[in-house]
Amino acid sequence: MRTKVADCLKKTAPGTIVDVRGWVRTRRESKQGFAFIELNDGSSFANLQIVADKSLPDYEELIKLVQTGASLAVTGELKESPAQGQKVELHAQTLKVLGQADAAKYPLQKKGHSFEFLREKAHLRPRTNTFGAMARVRNAICDAIHRYFQDRGFLYIHAPIITTSDCEGAGHMFQVTTLDLAKLGQFQGSRSSEAGKPFEIDYTKDFFGKKAGLTVSGQLEGEIFACSVGDCYTFGPTFRAENSNTTRHLAEFWMIEPEMPFYELEDNMALAEDFVRSVIKNVLARCPDDLQFFNDRIEPTLLATLENISGHDFIKLTYTEAVEILLKSGQSFEYPVGWGKDLQSEHERFLTEKHFKQPVILTDYPREIKSFYMRANDDGKTVRAMDVLVPGIGEIIGGSQREERHDVLISRMQECGLNPADYWWYLELREYGTVPHSGFGLGLERTVQMITGMQNIRDCIPFPRTPKSADF
């Protein structure tokens, strides 16, 4: 039975005969007639050193095939290593090359590669130290998220990926259609177009009978279940067709969205804070080697920042108070600060990294810059929104107490330019046993950024989807 490299390094006792398989990182030969091979199978940050000598059958021919990038199957005895920096090494008794690689052509040479270059080699970049560590940390984050909610009795709900409603009302949805784009003329309505203007498409001939797109959020569907079976959460892919080529935007990303009945804003804030701190503590305990690598090679203050976030209560203040702090700061910002303007990343990071030096939860944003579903405050100017801001990232969570009042919700939809008839089912939740309820959304990739210190969100997802870029 195959033994993983991680188990060889941390669990398996010296003297044990093991079978390991993986990919060659490096090979160096000794004049004494043996070779050292660094083998990695992705289960750990560290490699397992293989000692292969001339006692192996066909050693001279075999060792020539052991090139960087090749895959091997090795059996042998695990022994204590005399070398510093490693506890054990594997003395090969059999060695088989499963897949050859031409070291001269192999794209991942033994040198530093830019992240831009590695994005062009997304099929191979998980073999590098950085992206192997990234995959393990991302996996640990996902596991910690599920454990957090499952341990607290939340139900995991699968929201639809294809939807006919736009949760955010911003119109940045990828369209989904079965209409033949090469023959759109046959799906045009009977109304003729004016000169220079396109025909209106007759969506009754489309698969769903109306215009549909990829979801931007599972929140609205989460509210359905929250108002039926109690605390629940969605965890799935979401999509935004924003033409943004920045270090903070992706066209496809993953969102975690809990929804809770009988929660008001204060309950929502308490859950979000406990959730973020719990996930960080879990990953710190589970991935120490990987996080030490990110601290050493990517962001030298990473571990201190994570300990700060997980070890301190979050500061709580209103959007209005935050704007006053920013205006009085004397700081020069690229984007102007003013009441009624949305806060930018630079403003959020100033609050968390320079002013408070701690995570911050901002509440009660102006209604004009927030979505229709957020509960309106009695002042007529603000809504019961909350954003969780953390050092190094800025906003990591956005949430709110949801508007449970039927008449106010209709008014807010109209105010935001939405047709209430398109959300008839959402409105009916407010007619049949409405209750106060709340929820929030956490972007997985931003969480990965926070926990690894990576600067570009495209390096926090296995296959980044951005404008004019989708090879997989």
Q: How do the domains of the chain map onto residue ranges?
A: 2-99, 130-173+215-459
Q: What pLDDT digit, counting tens, does each position of 40-64 carry?
A: 999 999 999 999 999 998 899 999 9
Alpha-carbon gap, residue 349 to 342, rounded angstroms: 14
pLDDT in the model for residue 249: 84
Which residues, 6+ apart, have CB-to-CB distance to 386 below 8 Å?
265, 268, 269, 272, 361, 362, 363, 397, 398, 399, 400, 440
How distant, in Å, are the alpha carbons of 215, 226, 337 from that of 168? 10, 19, 24
Alpha-carbon gap, residue 280 to 358, rounded angstroms: 15
Query: Residue holding tokens 């060695």?
Result: 95
Average pLDDT over the chain reads 93
Is the pLDDT reported for residue 296 higher than 70? yes
Binned at pLDDT 50, 70 and 90, residue 396 comes out as: very high
pLDDT in the model for residue 189: 55
Q: What's phi and psi for 53, nearest 5 deg?
A: -125, 180
Is the pLDDT reported for residue 186 higher than 70? no
Thinking of the domain 130-173+215-459, which architecture would CATH place it in? 2-Layer Sandwich (3.30)
Alpha-carbon gap, residue 457 to 460, rounded angstroms: 5
The structure's pTM equals 0.93
Tokens representing 124 are: 């191979």
Asked if the domains at 2-99 and 130-173+215-459 fall in one CATH topology, the answer is no
Q: Which of 70-74, 203-207, 235-239 has the lowest mean pLDDT?
A: 203-207
pLDDT in the model for residue 169: 59
Is the pLDDT reported for residue 18 higher than 80? yes
> Closest Cα to residue 401, out of 152, 219, 256?
219
| CATH number belonging to domain 2-99 | 2.40.50.140
Q: Are 217 and 168 in contact (CB under 8 A)?
A: yes
Q: What pLDDT digit, counting tens, does each position of 340-373 carry?
A: 999 999 999 999 999 999 999 999 999 999 999 9
Is the pLDDT reported for residue 98 higher than 70? yes
User: H/E element holding 390?
Assistant: strand 382-390
Q: Across residues 316-328, what is the average pLDDT?
A: 98
pLDDT in the model for residue 256: 98
Tokens representing 93 are: 């008794």
pLDDT in the model for residue 402: 98
3-state class (DSSP) for residue 256:
strand
